[in-house]
Amino acid sequence: MLRVHSITGCVAAACLFVVIGCGSDSTTPSSSGPDPEPQDETGRQPPAAGPSAAGDGEGVVLAMDRLFLGETNRDGTANAASGWKQYGFNLDGKISTVESKDLCQPQPNAAPSSVYVDGDEGIDNSFGKNILTIIRGIEPNVSARVTDSIAAGDFTIMLSIDKLGASADYNPLGTKLYGGAALAAPPLWDGTDKWPVLPELLAVPTDITSAKVVFDGSYLVNNTWVSGSKGDINLNLGLAGYTINLTIRSAVIAMDLTEDHTGAINGTIAGVLETDVLVGELQKVVGAFDPSLCDGTTIEGILSQVRQASDIMKDGTQDPDQVCNGISIGLGFTMKKVQLGDIAPAAEPATNPCSTTAGG
């Protein structure tokens, strides 16, 4: 059973929290749903796990220091038109073009050219291709704003990889996920930062060892860490003073560790957003930006654009007989070595700016 827990109460204009509900303990990502036919268009996928090799080291704690939503290249240079093509994985096992006939049907008034065409190596990322344009209308430099918040010490996401040693290959590696609360000062990123831990991700709020989110089936192959089996990821992205809750389903995470295992590059989070859920969340953030937009023709036009970005079924499959009800997403990140600090006070819950309107 997947369990997803959310954290609210962002302290910056742009912030992100990640909460992952683990699936089974299998060491390779598995397809969610039956394949209608054999797939040979694998495209970009995380590497499969290698032979069994137990951890033999002291382990490491890595913290997210940069986040890329898709309007830049991985080095941070601007690429609003095509940056999205670099983030994600081939989720549906197809390398799709505008002529593809084996995909779900576009939403009303959606052009196949807007939703069918994949990124590099079949990457599925309609969020970066279509939804990010809407978000950038509220915050043009959203990736930079999020990264600036991390650099200021406002928040981070930490992965504590147990028994990681010097080898480039381990299977499995137990990994725990922690949310980082605000630091007293900007991080130094030299391995000495003791980042406070959010209690919302602890089964026992006073016990730092009781992480709710555990990847028992994660593994390292040729210095690439992979989360293992697919699960649900809950991203809380703060914009315009309100937190968008992005629940990414059938998700997988991967990242390339540095040779000394003190950092990571080319991090990827990939999965599927349920269209109707995203519509509701974006309505709230638009309402925070302007309460008069909680309902009416303007917000309906915006939400129609969101629906038209649907490119996949919400379970991560494709069905030519059904209308698409999911939106693929791919995000990028990097990480650096830190230490777990003390447990921070619980965050205050966010409010819904449209709760007193007809649109809420």
pLDDT digits (tens, 9 = 90+) for 143-175: 888 899 899 998 888 999 999 999 999 999 999
Whether the CA torsion 212, 65, 68, 91 is positive or negative: it is: negative
* Three-state DSSP class for residue 72: strand
Whether the CA torsion 202, 250, 332, 221 is positive or negative: it is: positive
pLDDT tens, position by position, 57-87: 999 999 999 999 999 999 999 999 999 999 9
Contact between residue 62 and residue 333 where contact means Cβ atoms under 8 Å apart:
no
Residue range 283-308: average pLDDT? 82
**C-alpha 157: how far from chain center:** 11
pLDDT tens, position by position, 35-65: 334 344 689 999 999 999 999 999 999 999 9
Structure tokens at 199: 């209690």
The highest-confidence range among 149-158, 203-212, 299-308, 333-342, by mean pLDDT, is: 333-342
> For residue 3, what is the DSSP state?
-
**C-alpha 19: how far from chain center:** 9
Q: Distance between CA 191 and CA 160 in Å, rounded? A: 13
* Three-state DSSP class for residue 215: strand
In terms of pLDDT, which residue wins out, 33 or 185?
Answer: 185
Whether the CA torsion 183, 185, 189, 192 is positive or negative: it is: negative
Q: What pLDDT, on a 0 to 100 scale, did the predictor assign at position 140?
A: 81
CA angle 138, 332, 115 (to 5 degrees): 65
In terms of pLDDT, which residue wins out, 356 or 103?
Answer: 103
Contact between residue 282 and residue 244 where contact means Cβ atoms under 8 Å apart:
yes
pLDDT band at 19 (very low <50, low <70, confident <90, very high): very low
Q: What pLDDT, on a 0 to 100 scale, did the predictor assign at position 84?
A: 97
